[in-house]
Chain A
Amino acid sequence: MVTGTIAALQKTAADLLVKKTVDLVIGYGQSPLGDIVPLFIRKAEEAERLQWNRHCTYNLVRYLTDREVIGPAGVGPEDRKADAQSKDTAAGKVAVVVKGCDLKSLVVLQSESQVRRDRLTVIGLPCPGVTDKGGRLLAKCESCPPEAYNPREGLCDLVVGAPVDETGGRPVRDGSFQEIEEIDALEATERRELWDRYFSRCLRCYACRNVCPLCYCKECVFDQHDPRWVSPAAGVATNRAFHLIRAYHLAGRCVDCGECERACPVGIPLRRINRKVAKVVEESFHFQAGLDPEAKSPLVLFSSEDPEEFIE
């Protein structure tokens, strides 16, 4: 990636902090071991630690709703207080670095009133696709539509770096759900076997939930004891219920940022569940998540035209 972009990014971040536009910048940095990790910068002189390369896989939007990470004041709907109490205009305001795919999850947070956009500065980075440590393009990038290579205008406050026009080795996708259709085409018993094999590996570590930028509920349904909808004990039956509910809760919201699948320690293809839901939502309710900050979730809406072939 162009070094000029990194320099420009560092300068942008330093400027935001110096001018007190924000008092926290969330970006990518390098760990002592050389890995790309999320980086939280509060001083302008630290901005030089910001990095940007093809290993910047994390979706940093995740941290915007995480008070433990970004501190007491933040960008949540309750942060009006912070505005009123402080003369410091930057207090609790945050800038975040996003790729095109991450931006979509921010759009969903906006549509659900989980971030106050006026307390947030969004720095978009055109993205040539990110890779795993072995240098292999992530599966989510292979199905990335070209219009998401560059952060969408109007949704970012700043865009750093030249627009990406090249596919960068990515196959140009037409938004089809081929891998889902392949599973749909199987016999019911084959699908059962396929998924049970995956679900039997699930440790119920909840990494998929914890890493998800859209799983922000203060009390998660899986942590509830009364009623307890799903036993916390790992087992193929309870795991199936867990994965069904997790995917269901993301219906019409999941933007396929792929973080859950990346975080899964046992390699469950979670995107194939999420994308199945996205397929149903698109085909039956004609809705795609992450495009419009004003949009309402399809499950809080209905249409008299909704399909009902399955109803007697």
Chain B
Amino acid sequence: MSGNSKNGRKLKIVGFLCNWCSYAGADLAGVSRLQYPEEIRIIRVPCSGRINPLLVLKCFQEGADGVLVSGCHPGDCHYQDGNLYARRRMLLLRSLLTYFGIDERRFHMSWVSASEGKKWAETVRRLVEDVKAADAEAKEGIPVW
């Protein structure tokens, strides 16, 4: 399950996870001993509504190969509707990234609840595959950001 880039460099992927659902889901994946790629570095935030799009851009600027934003399913937000603000923000961010020719497979968003350890593992697996594919297809000499 290696996630190396085509020149053998280990991929760096940042995941912003809300404290109440996705982080707990990832934790469940851990205690359930589910295997998933280790390229993801998890940053716990209070709510997906806390995730300033600037944070995502900062990751890309600092050399991340991919970024994931993950929160509670709509209706499950600990703060009622933080994830619904996040949904609008990330939709807009994603369309701008795509518009500027950043491979859209490098930016993912997911809803993962505290009980979805399996979904979490699956989400990360797909994310790493996507980033790897984007990396393989990238033009020589064109950096991620």
Q: Which residues of chain A have a CB within 8 Å of any CB of chain B?
A: 183-184, 188-196, 221, 229-231, 237-238, 240-241, 243-245, 247-248, 251, 273, 276-277, 280-281, 284-285, 298-304, 306-308, 310-312
Contact = CB atoms under 8 A, between A and B. Distances in A.
Name the 8 nearest CB pairs between A and B, nearest first: A192-B101, A191-B101, A302-B84, A312-B110, A311-B109, A280-B95, A195-B100, A229-B54
A130 to B, nearest CB: 28
Given A248-B53, A248-B93, A307-B91, A312 B100 contact: no
B87 A302 contact: yes
A189 B92 contact: no
A310 B104 CA distance: 10
Contacts of B91: 280, 284, 306-308, 310
Contacts of A277: 92, 96
A189 B87 contact: no
B100 A191 contact: yes
29 contacts: A188-B101, A189-B142, A192-B101, A193-B101, A195-B99, A195-B100, A196-B101, A237-B143, A237-B145, A240-B100, A240-B145, A241-B57, A241-B61, A248-B96, A285-B88, A299-B85, A299-B89, A300-B85, A302-B87, A303-B84, A306-B84, A306-B87, A306-B91, A307-B91, A308-B74, A308-B87, A308-B91, A310-B94, A310-B109
A284 B88 CA distance: 9
Nearest to B81: A302
Highest count of chain B CB atoms <10 Å: which of A189, A221, A238, A307: A189
Contacts of A285: 88
Contacts of B45: none
Interface of B: 53-54, 57-58, 60-61, 74, 81, 84-85, 87-104, 108-111, 123, 126, 139, 142-143, 145
Contacts of B81: 302
A192 B142 contact: yes
B92 A312 contact: no
Given A276-B96, A304-B84, 10 more contacts: A188-B101, A188-B103, A237-B143, A237-B145, A241-B60, A248-B92, A276-B95, A285-B88, A302-B84, A310-B91
B110 A311 contact: yes
Nearest to B107: A310
Contacts of B60: 241
A194 B87 contact: no
Highest count of chain A CB atoms <10 Å: which of B61, B96, B97, B104: B96
A237 B84 contact: no
Given A248-B93, A306-B91, A194 B57 contact: no
A229 B102 CA distance: 19
B124 to A, nearest CB: 10
Highest count of chain B CB atoms <10 Å: which of A184, A196, A308: A308
A273 B111 CA distance: 29
A281 B101 CA distance: 19
Contact of B101 (A190, A230, A245, A304): A190
A238 B92 contact: no
A3 to B, nearest CB: 45
Nearest to A231: B61
Nearest to A198: B100
B131 to A, nearest CB: 14
A194 B95 contact: no
A241 B123 CA distance: 27
A143 to B, nearest CB: 18
Contacts of B103: 188
Contacts of B98: 188, 191
A312 B57 contact: no
Nearest to A190: B101
B101 A194 contact: yes
A230 B100 contact: no
Contacts of A311: 87, 90, 109-111
Highest count of chain B CB atoms <10 Å: which of A196, A244, A284: A244
Highest count of chain B CB atoms <10 Å: which of A229, A280, A312: A312
A231 B61 CA distance: 10
A308 to B, nearest CB: 6
Contacts of B93: 248
